[in-house]
Structure 1
Amino acid sequence: MQTMAPADGETVEVVEGVHLTQLAAGDRMNVQHFHIEPGAKVPEHSHEHEQTGFVARGTLTFLCEGNEQVIQSGESYVLESEEPHAAENRTDEPVDGVDVFSPPRTDPDWAE
């Protein structure tokens, strides 16, 4: 078994106020921590990876094909492969959570 603490990963501010940390990665999936500051926005994008996530703290609003979906602390979500999506923290509190990607997204565009 392999383990990884959040402090072992490199945290990258991919857009203003959006911080991502690559965590454990296996052959078929990987885990990523996200921290999104109040007012920060993840621009619309898509990727080949299926993405499941869990919001541990705060409220995150997803925008998918013109529809809004609010995810509260304690809730989870699934984004299909190639599904265009954006996300916004419209609150005054930070949002923290984890995403799991399959296949592994260990070398995302934002890491460059």
Structure 2
Amino acid sequence: MDTQTLSAGNTVEVVEGVHLTQLVAGDRMSIQHFHVEPGATVPEHSHEHEQLGYVYDGTLVFEVAGEEFVIGANESYAIPSEEPHAAVNRGDDPVRGLDVFAPARPDPDWAQ
């Protein structure tokens, strides 16, 4: 069994105010932590991975196919594989949560 604490992970600021930490990766899925500062934006992107997420602090606004989805604390979401999406923290507090990816992303390009 692999284990890792958030504090032991390698946190990377992938764009200004967006911090990602790769946690553990198995054969079929992986999990990462995100921390998005107020006003920070995750630019539109897509990837082969299905992305399931959970916000436990703050509110994150996603844009998917021209539609906005407001995801607050204690809410989850699912983004299909190859679906272009972006996100922004329009609030005054950081947003924190977890993303699960399938297939696994053991070495995401942002972690380099």
- TM-based fold match above 0.5: yes
Q: Under TM normalisation by the shorter chain, which class is it?
A: over 0.9
- TM-score norm. by structure 2 comes to 0.97
One-letter identity of the residue aligned with 2:105: R
What is aligned with 1:111?
A: 111
Deviation at 1:24, TM superposition (A): 1.0
CA distance in structure 1 between the partners assigned to 2:24 and 2:108 by the alignment:
14
Deviation at 1:4, TM superposition (A): 0.8
CA distance in structure 1 between the partners assigned to 2:51 and 2:26 by the alignment:
15
Give identity over the alignment, percent.
67
CA distance in structure 2 between the partners assigned to 1:40 and 1:79 by the alignment:
20
- TM-score norm. by structure 1 comes to 0.97
CA distance in structure 2 between the partners assigned to 1:82 and 1:34 by the alignment:
20
Mark the runs of 5 or more structure 2 residues left unpaired by the alignment: none
What is aligned with 1:91?
A: 91
CA distance in structure 2 between the partners assigned to 1:9 and 1:88 by the alignment:
24
Deviation at 1:109, TM superposition (A): 2.4
36-45 vs 6-15, which deviates more?
A: 6-15
CA distance in structure 2 between the partners assigned to 1:101 and 1:39 by the alignment:
25
One-letter identity of the residue aligned with 2:16: E
Q: Secondary structure, in 3 states, of the residue corresponding to 2:3?
A: coil
